[in-house]
Structures are given as structure tokens and as C-alpha cells.
Amino acid sequence: MRNEGNVVNMKLFGRNRSYSNEITAEHSGEPVSIAGWVHEKRDLGGLFFLLVRDREGLAQVTLHKREVDRELFEQARKVPRESVVAIDGIIKGEPKAPGGYELLPKRIEVLSVASYDLPLDPTGKVGAELDTRLDARFMDLRSERTKHIFIIRSQVLKAIRDFLNERGFIEINTPKIVSAATEGGTALFPISYFEREAFLNQSPQLYKQMLIASGFDKVFEIAPIFRAEEHDTTKHLNEAMSVDIEVAFVSAEEVMRILEELIAFVYSKVALYPGLDSVTTQLEVPKIPFQRIRYDEAIELLADAGEPIEWGDDLSTSAEHKLGARIGAHYFITEWPRAIKPFYAQPIEDKETTNAFDLMHPRLELASGSQRVHSYELLKQNIESKGLSAASFAFYLDAFRYGMPPHAGWGLGVERLLMSMLGIENVREVVLFPRDRRRLVP
């Protein structure tokens, strides 16, 4: 490889480069080219080892002092850890080496020299606080555990898309700059939009309902949402990824079934991932159907558990934990009070409750959804009953004036799904570059 100014000859990274997991002892005697980062160095005097890390794993490069060029041997000894190297050599079977082979080098080229004072240890032998890891996220991602968390995240998103596409859903993309709050309240990030004030969207809720009026029948979106809540906990973010669906001509129960089937499907796919053990050994595919309990039943269970909740109040973190300990596994809480659910949740006739539900994990809430109001007059009344201006929602309400079918849907937090699935304590660990009350960089 030549570096001529800013132009790099990438021939090595095309046809010739092999990932570490593509090489086996069966290739003994064959030439190969690898490239990656110097993970570790081991100097045994006349024998020197370089462990080179790429995306797929480790390759052991072995140099015998008496058998290689002295300059090559010294070059390997002097290269700092985490430097980027390209190495050409011959494969030799070695049962004790990672992958069952070693590489006997003919040429080592240092493509980028790393500083000696690393911000953290990618091998994991020396631990680091989460803030340190997030400050140097690029380096933290080189560690096995962190790398596999984000490969699993990628697989989770693929599994969700596969599941919904196979069931006839249409993927949509809705605006993230909006003129009005999705659910009211003050948890909005205002932005300057030319001569007007606008906001970062809290949810695609209004837009996915409008698309139900279009006749799409089944839609979904996987996209960021923004909440200007001043929480500073292990489960809250101000920018998160949400999976949202909306379905026409169905009840809340039918979209609850879609949700529980989706969760079980995602778990089953992640359970097959070969790098799962680097993150957790506790994953079990949940059994469906999930248990359903009404809000009033949840209140009674909490009272029995010494955690009384007033009717009409949301559940505290402590209450969620106590209820989860009592019920276990995944479960739904249904028929929530009207006062604590959004204006678009369908009221239950002759009751002060709605046809709304939350999907709970023993540790935290994962998703919420409901049967939606599809009557223009009732929706307008509900908006105003929440102290909001119906005029501000004219663009949304118009979709209900010209034929809106009954419909239901939900929103699922990707990060919360990941942390509950993998047994991770802090939601920031499953976000590449988290945005919370205190963190805006990197």
C-alpha cells in the first residue's frame, strides 16, 4: 500500500483483505492479507506475538526472531497498541491461537500510529467509568462487549423490520420538526425555524394516524424522538429511538398481540447471535401471550405489596419494580385512567378509563399504545379538555373529517428493549452517542 499525499491505494482493502474469521487452519501454507488494530503485544525474547483485531475478531501474528528479518521484528516490537496495521503473511495452523491459526508475516505496514496514552483499555483488563467510556466512545467501541452490544442493536432493528414487513406493514418517515406538541405538556425542545418557533417532535403519533386516513392500513416507523424532560436516571434519554406502528380496522387487543409476537420474535433472533455471550448469558425467549392486568388490578396488587398508588396517578419507578417482582416476565397493564393518557386514546364508554395499555418488563415500561379516537368531534373535545387549542391541531384534525377508520397502535422504545433484553443497567450503554440532561458531546 502506498500513501501519496492524501490518496491511499485501497487494493489491500478490496479483493485481497481477509477478516480474521474468514481464515482457518485449513488454509495453512496460503498467503493472506489482514488489516486492523494492534490489540495486544507479547514479547517472549526470541518470540514475539502481535494480536491484531478487526471487526470479526483476533488474528495472532507470530514472529520468530531467528526466522524473520531483523527490521521486521523490531518494527513489530515498536508499534504502539491500537495502531492500525496491514500485514501480509503465510497462514499456519496453531490450535492455541485465536481461530486455530497464526500468521507468519512477510510484511507489516503501519498505516496509523496510535498515541501511547490511551484514554481507556479496549481489552477490558483495566476498567473505566461509564462517563470515561462515553467521552472516548470511539475507543470504547473497540472492546468486545461494547462492539457486540451495537451489532445486536443492528440485528434487533433488522428483526423488527423483517417482522413488520412480513406482515404487510408499510414503512414511513414522518417530520421531526413540527409546529405543535404531539401530546401537550412542556417536554418540548423549541427551535428557531426561520421567522417562527417550531419544536423537535416528541412522537410520530399524529402523522401516523393521518396516514391511516390515507388508506395505507398498516404503517410503521423506526426513528428518533425528542423529550425535553429533566430526568437524570439510568432509563431516561432526551433523544431516543422509537418503533411506532398504527393499524386500521383493529382493536387494542389486536395490536397488543402484534407487540408481544414482535418481542418474542426479536428475542429469538438475538438468541442465535454468536457474540451474545460477550454481553449476557441470561437471555431467554419470552413465552406468549403475555399476562394482561387492568390498571385497577395493578393498584390493588401494589397496595398489597405496601406501595399504595392513588387512582389516576402514574406508576413510580418503585411501583414498577414491586409490580414486576410480583408478576414477573413481560405483562400488559390495560384500561388506564383518562386523566393520564393522551387525548387520542379511546375512552371506554361509561367509565373514567381508556382503551390504553402499557407493556411492562419487571424493571421498566417498554411500550405504550391504545385504541385511538377516530371520531372528529370526540377528538376535538378531548384536545380541548386537556387545555390545548384545537386550532393548533387543525392539520391533524382535518384527517378525521373525511373518513377515518377505527385504528390502534403503539410505540416501543428501542433502547429500553435492548437494556431489558441484555440485562444492562444503564440505557446510555446501548446508545452510540447518548443525549441526556447533561451530555451533548461527543
> SS3 sequence, 284-348?
CCCCCCCEEEEHHHHHHHHHHCCCCCCCCCCCCHHHHHHHHHHHCCCEEEECCEHHHCCCCECEC
pLDDT for 12 equals 56
Output the CA torsion sign for 122, 123, 129, 130: positive
pLDDT for 185 equals 56
What is the side-by-side strand order in the sheet with 196-200?
177-178, 196-200, 189-193
Q: What average pLDDT does this structure show over 56-85? A: 96
Q: What average pLDDT does this structure show over 351-366? A: 96
Residue 32's closest CA among 61, 69, 73, 65? 61
Whole-angstrom Cα distance, residue 229 to residue 212? 29
Higher-pLDDT residue of 187, 107: 107
Output the CA torsion sign for 271, 274, 280, 282: positive
pLDDT of residue 2 exceeding 50, the answer is no
Neighbours of 156 (CB within 10 A): 22
pLDDT for 322 equals 94
pLDDT for 5 equals 43
The pLDDT > 70 percentage for the chain reads 95
- The predicted-structure confidence for 31-56, as pLDDT tens digits, reads as follows 999 999 999 999 998 999 999 999 99
Residue 74's closest CA among 88, 84, 63? 63
pLDDT of residue 98 exceeding 90, the answer is yes
Strand partners for 226 = 239
pLDDT band at 232 (very low <50, low <70, confident <90, very high): confident
- CATH architecture, range 138-430: 2-Layer Sandwich (3.30)
3-class state of residue 28 by DSSP: coil
pTM metric for this prediction: 0.93
Strands 291-294 and 196-200 turn out to be unpaired
- CA distances (Å), origin 294, targets 321, 335, 358, 359: 17, 6, 10, 12
What the block records as the C-alpha cell of 166 is 412480513
The position carrying cell 488474528 is 59
Rg of the Cα atoms in the chain: 27
What is the side-by-side strand order in the sheet with 365-371?
170-171, 218-226, 239-248, 407-413, 365-371, 356-360, 331-334, 291-294
pLDDT of residue 100 exceeding 80, the answer is yes
DSSP 373: P
pLDDT band at 350 (very low <50, low <70, confident <90, very high): confident
Query: DSSP string spanning 88-133?
Result: EEEEEE-TTSGGGEEEEEEEEEEEEPPPSS-SS-TTSSS---HHHH
> How does the average pLDDT of the chain come out, rounded?
93
Q: What average pLDDT does this structure show over 190-206? A: 94
- The predicted-structure confidence for 18-29, as pLDDT tens digits, reads as follows 999 999 999 999
- The predicted-structure confidence for 254-311, as pLDDT tens digits, reads as follows 999 999 999 999 999 999 999 999 999 989 999 999 999 999 999 999 999 999 999 9
Contacts of 250 (CB under 8 A, 6+ apart): 406, 407, 408
pLDDT of residue 87 exceeding 50, the answer is yes
- CA distances (Å), origin 292, targets 243, 307, 335: 21, 20, 10
pLDDT for 406 equals 98
pLDDT of residue 418 exceeding 80, the answer is yes
User: Using CB atoms within 10 A of its CB, is residue 330 exposed (0-12), middle (13-18) or buried (19+)?
Assistant: buried
pLDDT band at 183 (very low <50, low <70, confident <90, very high): low
Q: Say if residues 361 and 346 touch (Cβ distance below 8 Å).
A: no
Whole-angstrom Cα distance, residue 67 to residue 104? 10
Q: Which residue type, as a one-letter code, is found at position 58?
A: L
Q: Say if residues 204 and 254 touch (Cβ distance below 8 Å).
A: no
pLDDT of residue 147 exceeding 80, the answer is yes
pLDDT for 181 equals 67
| CATH number given to 3-112 | 2.40.50.140
Domain ranges of the chain: 3-112, 138-430
pLDDT of residue 186 exceeding 80, the answer is no
pLDDT of residue 152 exceeding 80, the answer is yes
